[in-house]
């Protein structure tokens, strides 16, 4: 996969609606929190459910590390509301229905079909510090994100 952005680049700005319809923008976290931005293929699929539940289960640890988690897929706000409820998420699931943010970050599709699963770690200054991509190992995204945040903190 050839990503648009690379480690060290400034993270592209965006604003998307979350599962409650509220607009969430990347700039609202600038200077305050690190951001774990994860792109996932589709609500209610096996891997995405496992990944989102795992981010949710570990959310306290992310918060203790000064980070917010943002999940992004092309599903609707309504789908995210139901999916977020099923996965007990307490962080924003963002609706990128037209795939604009996915394209902005260069997150393509696996085998040209399934939207890729990619996690970006963005520091408080808005710089991309780590990128992890694994379509078939969704739970590793959480472990990888925690490790990357630890490195930022040191």
pLDDT tens-digit series, residues 91-140: 999 999 999 999 999 998 876 677 899 999 999 999 999 999 988 888 88
Catalytic pick from 48, 69, 94, 145? 48
User: Which CATH number characterizes residue 98's domain?
Assistant: 3.40.30.10
Q: Please, which pLDDT band fits residue 1 given cuts at 50, 70 and 90?
A: very low
User: pTM surpassing 0.85?
Assistant: yes
pLDDT at 33: 96
Structure tokens at 121: 């770690």
Using an 8 Å Cβ cutoff, are 53 and 139 in contact?
no
Q: Specify the number of domains making up the chain.
A: 1
With both helix axes pointing from N to C terminus, report the angle between 46-57 and 140-153 in degrees, rounded to the nearest 10: 40
Report the alpha-carbon angle 92-52-12, nearest 5: 50
Dihedral sign of CA atoms 45, 24, 101, 134 in order: negative
Structural domain boundaries, residue 24: 15-153
**Domain assignment present for 117:** yes
> How many helical (H) and strand (E) elements, i.e. helices and strands, does the chain have?
5, 9
Query: Could you confirm whether 87 is annotated as catalytic?
Result: no
What DSSP designation does 119 have? E
Structure tokens at 114: 């399934």
pLDDT per position as a tens digit, 29-70 = 999 999 999 999 999 999 999 999 999 999 999 999 999 999
**Domain assignment present for 4:** no
């Amino acid at each position: 996969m050839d990503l648009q952005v690379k480690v060290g680049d400034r993270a592209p700005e965006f604003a998307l609606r979350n599962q409650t319809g509220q607009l969430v923008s990347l700039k609202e976290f600038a200077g305050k929190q690190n951001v774990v931005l994860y792109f996932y293929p589709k609500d209610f699929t096996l891997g995405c459910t496992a990944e989102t539940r795992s981010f949710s289960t570990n959310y306290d640890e992310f918060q203790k590390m000064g980070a917010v988690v943002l999940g992004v897929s092309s599903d609707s706000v309504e789908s995210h509301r139901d999916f977020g409820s099923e996965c007990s998420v307490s962080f924003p699931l963002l609706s990128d229905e037209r795939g604009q943010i996915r394209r902005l970050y260069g997150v393509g599709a696996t085998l040209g079909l399934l939207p890729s699963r990619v996690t970006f770690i963005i520091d408080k200054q808005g710089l991309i510090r780590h990128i992890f991509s694994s379509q078939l190992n969704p739970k590793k995204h959480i472990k990888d994100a925690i490790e990357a945040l630890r490195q930022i903190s040191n």
